[in-house]
Amino acid sequence: MSTAVAAREQEPDYLSSKKGIASWLTSVDPKRVAVLYLAAILTFFAVGSVLAVLLRVETMSAGRAMLSASAYDRLFSMHGAIMVFLVLVPAFPAVLGNFFVPMMVGARGLAFPRLAVVGFRLYAAGAVLALVAAALNGSDASWTLAVPYSLHAGIGATVLAAGIALVALSSILTALNLVVTVQKMRAPGLDYRRLPLFVWGMLAVSLVQLFASPVLAATMLLLVAEKTISLGLFDPSLGGDPVLYQHLFWFGVHPILYGTVIGAMAVVSEILATFTRREVSGHRFVAGSLIALALLAFLGWGQHLFAGGLSVYATLVFSALGLLVAIPAVVIVVNWLATLKGGSIAFETPMLYALGVIVLLTIAGLANLFLMAPAVGVYLRGTAFESAALHYLLGGAALFGFLGGLHYWWPKMFGRGYNETLARAGFALLFIGFNLAFLTQFALGSRGLAGASYDFAADFQALQLVSSIGGFALVAGVLLVLVVLGMGLAERERAPKNPWGSASYEWLAASPPVEDNFAVELVMERGPYDYDLASDEELSDAGSEEPAVAATPTE
């Protein structure tokens, strides 16, 4: 080990290099930015979950329980908006992407570190606007702010729309940064054939966010203008066209929603490789499928207009285009299964989440086929069935994927582990609770329960109760998980550098990493999944220092 490297290894890690709140708020280290995002996202996740509990309390039984109808409307609208725009959309690229994409391409940092900070500030401003909207009695215009309802809604909806516009602008900057980082900052030897699947996935998510978010931002700005200075573009009573709003909104949001699931797929692929100790089967095909999903996602927005506003022929075309995503989705799931076959599989918490995502994603994808087949789709649209399908994707596949990623990289991010038994219990509670809460909703929707219903006929009673019990179990699970991870931070013992024995590049760094990620410049001589080429030392879960071998300077 050269002395230069040894000296750098004494460097403090990114968490302790500078102290104080100000050092966090002004830091241009993408890892710190990612941690800020994480803190904000977890906070909003908690808020969104509390709102969900209130919804489940109200719908536990028919008739009025505790909320007024308009309170229920505001709560579910804010629940959806917060969960989607403030939690899930930034979760993958802004937390896991900003932190790990540079590390996984062997770079010292993002291409544009200050842009990441601007991105976070825009997100924070958007989040503050969402809170202001909540303080102004919230918005009851549903999370889609559908016109013309949202035009009649109060000032809360206007402020919320402005907040969403800012969050969308922030996504653009995050995405741009990640694309350039992947394209231009790869360490020598890391060509596209070797690129880790997580990085491929972040590239796909970034493409989606880069080109869909501007449309969402423009649409939200137009909505704000419509509500404040009455432009007359959307309001039918002024000659505007509400269906135009639906087209613009879904052109932007449909791909963005796909992006969240692509993010989860990226994380799951990474976890599977590590816990089976082998490359994901059909690596190139999985990578290609992630990109294909991103591109096809831009063709599917018409799905949201099936029941109104589309001609029969347009429905036909959109149905065909929207269904095409099934091809890459199936390729990915099949290759995941093939990865298990022949692996050397361990079952620590991240792996449980990954397996959970496979189950939830399969159910979700199949459920969406019901919505997509027009003959049953027009019947089920807008019902609890649709709500179940969207929760399987967002609260199921996407959030379980995020949580899996968090458990997987937690030791690297914070240098501390967590209690494995309790973490597994948390997963079990979440998984069982989730399925109780939302499998029931499939049945309720099939039987004709319309969505957004604060009240319902007595024959839906029994299933709604089961669903609510599941919802409460879920929230208990979330609390348990947060406590377990939080307690982990307080542990004295440092996490090992490579607790899961992964061959992937980010585990070569110290836990937590130093400010510019690696103490040395990496030259990639093997792929991130070449377990047979990786040295024992690289794979060992001992010690929190970088192994000497990784630090041996070549020539």
Q: Is position 134 an interface residue for ligand HEA (rule: CB under 6 A)?
A: no
Which of 29, 37, 49, 175 binds ligand HEA (CB under 6 A)? It is 49
DSSP assignment letter at 93: I
Which of 185, 326, 345, 524 binds ligand HEA (CB under 6 A)? It is 326
By beta carbon distance, the residue nearest ligand HEA is: 365
Provide, rounded to whole angstroms, the least separation between the CB of residue 95 and ligand HEA: 9
277-281 long-range contacts, Cβ below 8 Å, gap at least 24?
277/343, 277/344, 277/501, 277/531, 278/339, 278/342, 278/343, 278/344, 278/529, 278/531, 279/339, 279/527, 279/529, 279/530, 280/197, 280/335, 280/336, 280/339, 280/529, 281/335, 281/336, 281/338, 281/339
Q: Which is nearer to ligand HEA, 194 or 381 (CB)?
A: 381
Which of 30, 138, 163, 395 binds ligand HEA (CB under 6 A)? It is 395
Q: Is position 261 an interface residue for ligand HEA (rule: CB under 6 A)?
A: yes
Provide, rounded to whole angstroms, the least separation between the CB of residue 303 and Cu ion: 5
DSSP assignment letter at 306: T
Which of 266, 280, 352, 403 binds ligand HEA (CB under 6 A)? It is 403
Angle formed by the axes of helices 326-340 and 283-296, to 10°? 150
What residues numbered 135-174 form the site for ligand HEA, per CB under 6 A? Answer: 142-144
CB 481 within 8 A of CB 403: yes
Q: Please report where in the chains the tokens 């609208």 appear, as a residue.
A: 77
In a 3-state reduction of DSSP, which class is residue 514? strand
320, interface contact from ligand HEA, Cu ion, other proteins, none, CB < 5-8 Å by kind: other proteins
Provide, rounded to whole angstroms, the least separation between the CB of residue 360 and other proteins: 10
Residue 250 corresponds to which tokens in the numbers above?
């879904």
Judged by CB under 6 A, which stretch of 147-155, 195-203, 369-377, 511-519 contacts ligand HEA? Answer: 369-377
What residues numbered 332-351 form the site for ligand HEA, per CB under 6 A? Answer: 333-334
110, interface contact from other proteins, ligand HEA, Cu ion, none, CB < 5-8 Å by kind: other proteins
**Whether residue 214 has a cis bond before it, omega within 30° of 0:** no
Judged by CB under 6 A, which stretch of 79-87, 123-131, 188-196, 515-523 contacts ligand HEA? Answer: 79-87
Q: Which is nearer to ligand HEA, 120 or 400 (CB)?
A: 400
Provide, rounded to whole angstroms, the least separation between the CB of residue 474 and other proteins: 20
Neighbouring CB atoms inside 10 A of 68's CB total: 11
Contacts of 486 by beta carbon, 8 Å cutoff, 6+ apart: none
CB 76 within 8 A of CB 485: no
Q: Is position 267 an interface residue for ligand HEA (rule: CB under 6 A)?
A: no
79, interface contact from Cu ion, other proteins, ligand HEA, none, CB < 5-8 Å by kind: ligand HEA
Q: Read out DSSP for 151-206?
A: HHS-HHHHHHHHHHHHHHHHHHHHHHHHHHHHHH-PPTT--TTT--HHHHHHHHHH
29, interface contact from other proteins, ligand HEA, Cu ion, none, CB < 5-8 Å by kind: none
Q: Which is nearer to other proteins, 120 or 143 (CB)?
A: 143
Q: Is position 295 an interface residue for ligand HEA (rule: CB under 6 A)?
A: no
Q: Is position 74 an interface residue for ligand HEA (rule: CB under 6 A)?
A: no
46, interface contact from ligand HEA, Cu ion, other proteins, none, CB < 5-8 Å by kind: none
Provide, rounded to whole angstroms, the least separation between the CB of residue 364 and Cu ion: 12
Helix (H) or strand (E) holding 295: helix 283-296
Alpha helix (H) residue ranges in 59-112: 69-81, 89-90, 98-104
| Dihedral sign for Cα atoms in the order 9, 23, 412, 555 | negative
Provide, rounded to whole angstroms, the least separation between the CB of residue 286 and other proteins: 10
Q: Which is nearer to ligand HEA, 274 or 387 (CB)?
A: 387
Residue 198 corresponds to which tokens in the numbers above?
């997580």
Q: Which is nearer to ligand HEA, 214 or 382 (CB)?
A: 382
Buried (b) or exposed (e) across 499-525, using 16+ Cβ within 10 A?
A: bbbbbbbbbbbbbbbbbbbbbbebebe
Q: Is position 329 an interface residue for ligand HEA (rule: CB under 6 A)?
A: yes
Which of 306, 336, 410, 418 binds ligand HEA (CB under 6 A)? It is 306
Q: Which residue type is seen at 278?
A: R
Q: Which residue type is seen at 415?
A: G
Residue 204 corresponds to which tokens in the numbers above?
């796909």
Q: Is position 47 an interface residue for ligand HEA (rule: CB under 6 A)?
A: no
154, interface contact from Cu ion, ligand HEA, other proteins, none, CB < 5-8 Å by kind: none
Provide, rounded to whole angstroms, the least separation between the CB of residue 489 and other proteins: 28
Q: Give the span between the Cα atoms of 145 and 130, in whole angstroms.
A: 13
Which of 371, 429, 508, 509 binds ligand HEA (CB under 6 A)? It is 371
Q: Give the span between the Cα atoms of 303 and 314, in whole angstroms.
A: 10
Give the binding site for ligand HEA (CB under 6 A): 42, 45, 49, 52, 55-56, 59, 76-77, 79-80, 83-84, 87-88, 142-144, 257-258, 260-261, 303-304, 306-307, 322, 325-326, 329-330, 333-334, 362, 365-366, 368-369, 371-372, 377, 381-382, 386-387, 390-391, 393-395, 398-400, 403, 406, 430, 437, 451-453, 471, 474-475, 477-478, 481-482
